[in-house]
Chains A and B, each alone.
Chain A
Amino acid sequence: MRGMSTVLITVSPEASRQMRPPRALWPRDFRVGNALGRPFMRDLQRRVLLDALALLTAPPRPGEIVERAYPDYAAEPATPA
């Protein structure tokens, strides 16, 4: 098998920390079920995904969980397009 690099997006950092993931992003204050943010907030979902992917090329911090704030998450949920 060829190696596959992984990155985790977690909303349960305490549980995830116990598993010591090789790379992990914690979007702070996101609730369980909203790993990428709220429905139809495409820009927010995109930024979370890009921030997770950016950990692949960042200096390695295996086992650490990188915390990041997304203030617009708390804003009014977007309505369906």
Chain B
Amino acid sequence: MTQLSRRCVPFTPFEGELGGATVALVTAGGVHRRDQPPFNIADELGDLSFRAIAGDVDAADLMVTHHHYDHVDADRDVNVQFPLERLRELAAEHVIGSVAGEHVGFMGYTMQLRRMYEETAPAIADYLDQHARPDVVVLTGG
């Protein structure tokens, strides 16, 4: 962690206006669709995989698999961790340009921080870039 913190801040400027921006969500809160494989919470090293979630998913079809935080509130209303319905409302009001076609959930708990930083995070960025091309990504923790 100390070593990672010595890196420069990877700052990407935001150009343009929010009203024209496509916005994607990425959460470390273990959110995935009910019909996707759950994250592996049996492995004490964590789970480095991620799940792609389509922007038109029904929020009721989402669930949380994560054993390192209390997700009872997200189980009742996934928007507390993954505010897809709030994002849709902002798009309908033209506060943002659009909701991205793809979003991502992963389980942020890991004992393999370097692999998550060097493998999982770039893989998520590549996936979104190739499948959704968002201008903005809103990140939430788990």
Contacts and interface: CB of A to CB of B under 8 A. Distances in A.
B52 interface: no
Contacts of A11: 141
B73 A38 contact: yes
B70 interface: yes
A33 interface: yes
Contacts of B95: 50, 53
Nearest to A81: B77
B12 A33 contact: no
A60 interface: yes
A22 B73 contact: no
Interface string A34-55: 1111111010011011101100
A71 interface: no
Contact of B70 (A19, A33, A49, A56): A33
B29 A22 contact: no
A32 B136 contact: no
A74 interface: no
B138 A39 contact: no
A59 to B, nearest CB: 11
B91 to A, nearest CB: 12
Main secondary structure of the interface of A (DSSP, over half): loop
A49 B136 contact: no
Interface stretch (B3-11, B34-42, B43-51): B3-11
B140 A35 contact: yes
Contacts of A56: 14, 18, 21, 136
Interface string B120-132: 0000011011000
For the complex of A and B, the 7 pairs showing the least CB-CB separation, nearest first, are A39-B77, A62-B9, A5-B14, A3-B12, A35-B140, A56-B14, A22-B11
28 contacts: A1-B125, A1-B126, A4-B24, A5-B137, A6-B136, A7-B137, A16-B141, A20-B5, A21-B9, A22-B9, A31-B70, A32-B69, A32-B142, A33-B72, A33-B74, A33-B81, A33-B142, A35-B27, A36-B86, A37-B80, A40-B77, A42-B86, A45-B83, A48-B83, A53-B95, A56-B21, A56-B136, A62-B11
